[in-house]
Amino acid sequence: MMNTSSITKDIFGKTKDGNDVHRYTFTNKNKITIRVLDYGCIITDILVPDKNGEVKDISLGFDDMEGYLTRSPYCGAVCGRVANRIAKGKFSMDGQDFQLALNDVANSCFLHGGVTGFDKVIWDTTVNDDRLILRYVSADNEEGFPGEVNTTVSYQLSDDNVFSIEYTATTTKATPINLTSHAYFNLAGQGTANLDGHVLQILADHHTPMTAHHIPTGEIAPVSGTPVDFRKPVSLSDKRKELCDGQGFNLSFCVGEKGKLKQVARLEHVPSGRTLDVCTTEPGLQCYNSSELTPTVGKGQVTYQQFSAVCLEAQNYPDCVNNSNFPNSILRPGEQYRQTTTYTFGILS
């Protein structure tokens, strides 16, 4: 089928250094609109219709650059070169020890790419028909990582309501790579105070148990018979009450072989009829119900609250660089990192 979706471009704002930040708007024939910045590859808006045709924005974010520069909890951004946690900011590779910034102070670890990760830089952009291609060259020793890394992120929206993200990376020296998109979803519409009415299914038989500081123990454990079993659809409101005495959750699931595109999750909002299917080539899926989100003024001057969104982040396992039994995360010269993740928007039948 011919794809009739299109991309337009405008200026969204400026960085603190005065550089222009551009916004790219995708639209398709089914009233879906998605907006992306060249700053951090940030997805700012995802507007989709409900069962009655009413269009709402289902992603948390901000109306201007000031929000993204000063108070964003990585809303919609691409995180890298390592997205998830590295315990104590340390890893060893090829006989050499590396120390990264402990930018997640509360948990004494490195998180989301560091102090100035991929989410805080302007990417070079190219529009190729209905595809937006963003490119960033990360310098050798940036954030303490070895090697110059050349990364591309490609976005595309189809008339089948599939929003595709494709990542590639190459390096001049061996280095860990683990990229993800940190979108916050609420299918009832951004600004809704909670996740009531949301049902989530995650197609994973195993997970990586965590310490109280969200660091994997190194075990790969079955979900069967545990509170983290999402293999059948579960109410997110009920699951929040069940897990961690109602304090929320930040879970890492083992969703299958790396490199093979497969469905890993389905999110439904029964009242509106909106659905979201997630497919990925990654071995892991991080599920986070915004339990650590502090009151934050977002789009439309709405204050986002704790438990007001869910993140479904396709990636490798947390701290994979320090666990030899986890999937490999080291990219070497002559190799290419590749990831495809898709989000398909639909309506309950």
- Alpha carbon of 304 to those of 176, 181, 268: distances in Å? 33, 19, 20
78 forms bridges with which residues in the sheet? 181
Answer for the pair 26, 155: CB distance below 8 angstroms, yes or no.
yes
Q: Are strands 234-235 and 124-128 parallel, antiparallel or unpaired?
A: unpaired
- Alpha carbon of 346 to those of 50, 63, 268, 278: distances in Å? 9, 26, 9, 12
Q: Are strands 175-176 and 330-331 parallel, antiparallel or unpaired?
A: antiparallel
Secondary-structure percent of the chain, ordered helix, strand, coil, rounded to 5: 10, 45, 50
Contacting residues for 329 by C-beta, under 8 A, at least 6 apart = 82, 176, 177, 178, 316, 320, 321
Burial (0-12, 13-18, 19+ Cβ within 10 Å), 35: buried
Give the residue among 175, 295, 310 at the shortest CA–CA distance from 236: 310
Active centre residues (catalytic): 182, 313
For residue 248, report the phi and psi dihedrals to the nearest 5 degrees.
Answer: 95, -175
The 3 state secondary structure assigned to 246-309 is HCCCEEEEECCCCCCCEEEEEEEECCCCEEEEEEECCCEEEEECCCCCCCEECHHHCEECCCCC
User: Quick one: tokens of 132?
Assistant: 């937006």
